[in-house]
Amino acid sequence: MDKIKKNDMKKVHFGCSDRFPGPIDGWDNLDIFPRNNKIIKCDVINGLPYKNNTISHIFSVHTFEHFTLNQCKKVLNDCYNKMCISGVIRIIVPDLRRIVSDFEDFENSQFFNKFENKWEFLLYAMYDTDSTSTPHKYMFYDENLIRELTIIGFKNIKIVSDDNSKSEYKEFNEIVNFPIKSLAIEGEK
């Protein structure tokens, strides 16, 4: 492996969009549909545009659910290869376990007044029916995302606290994160 100076390491935010949290200063912000000049056009399914062992941090919010399971595995493998030793990834996705819980107890959920009925809520949650981007193709709950990260080789995998912000990695705590009903998981190479 070539010696890479710490300041040559990249911090990458993909699936950036221009909303929640939008482009992050000091990070390379990637999205397949860049909506402003702070975002680099990149389809991560075809690979991250970096050499192996050159990324120190990867952050992705509500992106992996837009891939099939096989595409998720491919992207996660690429992330692992592009990350330096002790690099860190943080993935935030809709939490299938919380979605099912809200579906089962719809009348008491925070979504009760937002949707006509629980079936409309489920369609929205599972398939992102009001989104202008690609629909959801796969959903995660804690065990299946942890399993995929473990198979690839990530270690020290942790579910981040329910408020999605508390991390032992300061780089992630400096980012405004996605709201409730999401699953946030971090792992190291």
Which candidate, 56, 52, 59, places its Cα nearest to that of 30? 59
Cα–Cα distance for residue pair 146/166, rounded to 1 Å = 18
Q: Residues 76-109: pLDDT tens digits?
A: 999 999 999 999 999 999 999 988 888 888 888 7
Query: pTM for this one?
Result: 0.89
Which CATH architecture fits 6-95+133-188? Answer: 3-Layer(aba) Sandwich (3.40)
Q: Is the distance from CB of 187 to CB of 89 less than 8 angstroms? A: yes
What's the count of helices (H) and strands (E) in the chain, helices before strands? Answer: 5, 7
For residue range 6-49, what is the model confidence (pLDDT) as tens digits?
A: 557 999 999 987 666 788 999 999 999 888 899 999 999 999 99
- Grade residue 164 by pLDDT with cuts at 50, 70 and 90: low
Domain boundaries, the chain: 6-95+133-188
| SS3 at position 187 | strand
